[in-house]
């Protein structure tokens, strides 16, 4: 049985089969599960996810190292190391849309690095980019922010990124794909439920983030005297954090009707804070503080070790029982549910392993750049490393600014750092071998 992921998995599966837009997330990933599973097995969406990520990784590798066999030994070796020492296999094997954040950023890298692409690949990458963008709310912004980060670094004069071929034209293509995603999401919602909206609970997520960073409390204290918000009656008893606000049955959200009910009021509060200079400055400041904090959140398996998943009351259990009853025993006897031998999931060793992989990568990259000062890395490889790092920062900025600081959000792309280090090590060893042969 593939790892269900989180309680969200139950919502995704149910939404796809019931043709019902969830209050707190897009429906597109649910429809993806329905289409790829064929109503037969939940292993099939996982296979599609793994194949898609492997294909993008191969395209990315071939963009940097175009010579050699299509499936070269170095590429397979690096892929094996990533699967062994990073969470890449966990996220591609979960029934969660997190894998498509990785795919989205790799598409941006491939488009910017490749000099030419066949027409069918342009079409495939465009369709895949739009789907990745609408699979999760954060992905709608991560691609744009990553592209913006690269553009700003180019304007700032970073020599490496100035070598990207036809950057302006390629950026326009990515932005057009982003625009298509912004149209696709409300269009699908309209087709399913005749509601032209990005999401029923988009502003509810943002209100939770305003609660976490303190902006909400300050705004309510300063404005409830002349604004008739229902949330004002709770301003002195707000939950401690966004998790409690969103899911506690006694939270202000639950008391006011739950997800979607107070969305108009929450939207007004959010836009007021974004259009008032004082609160906008607070937003910017909190984003600058939260981004590095998010970059440090790289533990693997956070939220997957709960015994709650084996309960018939959990959303994943209910979804599997209803739509894939012949796989229910596999679910109940999986390690996430404790199995017959009580072997629950334990990510302590795996998280420590990933920590050391990240630390070694963080030390290896600058050392290799210094070691190659006389013969610097080629512009394509240097661009690839910078693009991967920009993708990591963009993910941290968006998720910490719009959602919450969470291990899951960052560890899903943190393996970009070991990937960059492996690519540099291979290039260093390859060039050294060539120099020795010529002596």
Per-residue pLDDT tens for 318-368? 999 999 999 998 888 887 877 666 677 788 888 999 999 999 999 999 888
Close Cβ partners of 158 (under 8 Å, ≥ 6 residues apart): 386
Element (H, E) at 156: none
CB-CB contact of 81 with 415 (8 Å): no
Helices 379-402 & 407-414 angle (0-180, nearest 10): 170
Q: Which 8-state DSSP code applies to residue 296? A: T
pLDDT tens profile 301-319:
877 777 778 888 888 999 9
pLDDT tens profile 108-151:
999 999 988 999 999 999 999 999 999 999 999 999 999 999 99
Per-residue confidence (pLDDT) for residue 319, from 0 to 100: 93
Secondary structure E strands in 124-218: none
CB-CB contact of 299 with 348 (8 Å): no
pLDDT tier, 438 (very low <50, low <70, confident <90, very high otherwise): low
CB-based burial, 377-415: b 16+ in 10 Å, e otherwise: bebbbbbbbbbbbbbbbbbbbbbbbbbbbbbbbbbbbbb
pLDDT tier, 200 (very low <50, low <70, confident <90, very high otherwise): confident
Per-residue confidence (pLDDT) for residue 295, from 0 to 100: 94
Q: Percent of the chain beyond pLDDT 70?
A: 94
Torsion of the alpha carbons at 40, 6, 87 and 328, rounded to the nearest 10: -30
CB-CB contact of 409 with 395 (8 Å): yes
Q: Is 248 or 341 the better-scoring residue by pLDDT? A: 248
Bridge partners (DSSP) listed for residue 203: none
Q: Is the per-residue pLDDT at 371 higher than 80?
A: no
Q: How far is CA 352 from CA 85, 346, 357, in A?
A: 10, 11, 9
Helices 202-213 & 379-402 angle (0-180, nearest 10): 90
What does the angle CA 95 – CA 253 – CA 294 come to, to the nearest 5 degrees?
A: 50
Per-residue confidence (pLDDT) for residue 69, from 0 to 100: 65
Q: Six-digit token pair at 196?
A: 């032209």
Q: Is the per-residue pLDDT at 3 higher than 60?
A: no
**Residue 433, CB half-sphere, CA atoms under 13 Å: how many?**
6
Among 190, 192, 153, 146, which Cα is nearest to 171's?
146
Q: Which 8-state DSSP code applies to residue 326? A: G
Helices 28-37 & 167-193 angle (0-180, nearest 10): 80
Q: Is 205 or 46 the better-scoring residue by pLDDT? A: 46
Q: How much is the average pLDDT of 22-50?
A: 94
Per-residue confidence (pLDDT) for residue 18, from 0 to 100: 94
Q: Percent of the chain beyond pLDDT 90?
A: 62
* Residue 221: other Cβ atoms inside 10 A: 12
Bridge partners (DSSP) listed for residue 94: 3
Among 37, 1, 43, 44, which Cα is nearest to 17's?
37
Q: How far is CA 121 from CA 62, 102, 177, in A?
A: 14, 18, 14
Q: Six-digit token pair at 7?
A: 């309680």
Q: How much is the average pLDDT of 399-407?
A: 88
Q: How much is the average pLDDT of 398-402?
A: 92
Q: How much is the average pLDDT of 382-394?
A: 95
From CA 185, how far away is CA 178, in angstroms rounded?
11
Task: Lowest mean pLDDT of 94-98, 213-217, 370-374, name the range.
Answer: 370-374
Among 99, 96, 86, 9, which Cα is nearest to 54's?
99
Close Cβ partners of 117 (under 8 Å, ≥ 6 residues apart): 110, 111, 125
Q: How much is the average pLDDT of 167-188?
A: 95
CB-CB contact of 210 with 253 (8 Å): no
From CA 119, how far away is CA 226, in angstroms rounded?
58
């Amino acid at each position: 049985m593939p790892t269900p992921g989180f309680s969200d998995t139950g919502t995704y599966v149910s939404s796809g089969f019931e043709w019902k837009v969830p209050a707190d997330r897009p429906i597109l990933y649910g429809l993806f599960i329905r289409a790829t599973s064929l109503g037969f097995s939940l292993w099939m969406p996982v296979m599609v996810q793994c194949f898609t990520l492997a294909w993008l990784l191969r395209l990315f590798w071939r963009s940097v190292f175009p010579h050699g066999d299509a499936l070269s030994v170095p590429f397979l070796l690096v892929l094996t190391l990533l699967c062994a020492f990073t969470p890449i296999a966990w996220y591609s094997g979960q029934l969660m849309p997190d894998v498509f954040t990785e795919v989205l950023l790799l598409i941006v890298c491939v488009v910017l690095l490749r000099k030419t692409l066949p027409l069918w690949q342009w079409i495939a990458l465009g369709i895949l980019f739009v789907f990745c963008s609408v699979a999760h709310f954060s992905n709608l912004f991560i691609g744009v922010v990553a592209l913006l980060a690269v553009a700003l670094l180019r304007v700032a004069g970073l020599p490496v990124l100035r070598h990207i071929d036809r950057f302006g034209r390629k950026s326009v293509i990515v932005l057009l794909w982003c625009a298509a995603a912004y149209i696709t999401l409300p269009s699908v919602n309209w087709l399913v439920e005749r509601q032209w909206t990005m999401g029923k609970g988009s502003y509810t997520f943002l209100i939770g983030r305003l609660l976490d960073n303190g902006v909400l409390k300050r705004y309510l204290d300063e404005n409830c005297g002349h604004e008739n918000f229902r949330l004002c009656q709770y301003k002195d008893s707000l939950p401690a954090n966004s998790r409690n606000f969103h899911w506690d049955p006694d939270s202000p959200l639950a008391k006011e009707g739950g997800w979607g009910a107070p969305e108009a009021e929450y939207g007004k509060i959010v836009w007021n804070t974004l259009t008032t200079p004082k609160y906008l400055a607070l937003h910017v400041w909190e984003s600058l503080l939260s981004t590095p904090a998010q970059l440090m959140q790289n533990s693997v398996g956070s939220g997957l070790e709960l015994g709650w998943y084996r309960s018939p009351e959990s959303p994943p259990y209910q979804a599997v029982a209803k739509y894939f009853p012949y796989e229910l025993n596999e679910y109940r006897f999986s390690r996430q549910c404790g199995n017959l031998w009580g072997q629950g999931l334990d990510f302590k060793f795996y998280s420590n392993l990933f920590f050391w992989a990240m630390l070694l990568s963080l030390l290896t990259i600058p050392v290799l750049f210094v070691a190659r000062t006389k013969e610097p890395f080629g512009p394509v490889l240097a661009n690839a490393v910078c693009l991967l790092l920009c993708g990591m920062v963009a993910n941290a900025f968006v998720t910490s600014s719009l959602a919450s600081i969470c291990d899951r959000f960052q560890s899903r792309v943190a393996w970009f750092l070991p990937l960059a280090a492996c690519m540099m090590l291979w290039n260093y060893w390859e060039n050294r071998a060539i120099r020795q042969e010529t002596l």
